[in-house]
Amino acid sequence: MDASFGPMSKPSAGASMGSGTSRRTKFILGGTSIIVFGIGVVVLYTLATLNITYSDGDRAGILQKLSRKGWVCKTYEGELAVSYTPGMAPVLWYFSVRDEAIAAQVRDAQGKRVVLHYNEHRGVPTDCFGETQYYVDGVRVIE
């Protein structure tokens, strides 16, 4: 008895190469699609966390410090002494400033009593937008 199944039993060398290239192309395209999709999800998440405000409000105190920090992403970071009693350690509130014009106003108000208006953005995935979750967008000096 002959165990062969006829001329269709063995694929030709050309057919083998064609299906291998097709599989490889599908694998590369599938992997690339997954990576692009993942990057897109991260970008959309970042945009959502920066544009959707969790809370906003005002903090009053003495503006102690504003500095520009970061190795790659330079951000303005500041300290506000919320409760200041002579002889006691002040309670500090840390904040970030993203706007250059607001940073200039904050810099001019250093050492003065101020009211800072802020927006809180939770879950921002990187420190490139600020080291804290509190972003100051308004300054008012108290006389």
Whole-number pLDDT of residue 9:
52
Does residue 6 form part of some domain? no
Range of the domain at 87: 54-141
CA distances from 20 to 32, 58, 68 (A): 18, 63, 55
Q: What is the DSSP letter of 132?
A: S
Per the structure block, which two tokens stand in for 5?
A: 């199944």
Regarding whether 117 and 63 lie in a shared domain, the answer is yes
The kind and range of the H/E element at 118 are: strand 113-120
Does residue 137 form part of some domain? yes
Domain count, the chain: 2
Range 128-137 average pLDDT: 90
Regarding whether 105 and 84 lie in a shared domain, the answer is yes
* pLDDT tens readout for residues 15-52: 444 556 788 888 888 889 899 999 999 999 888 888 88
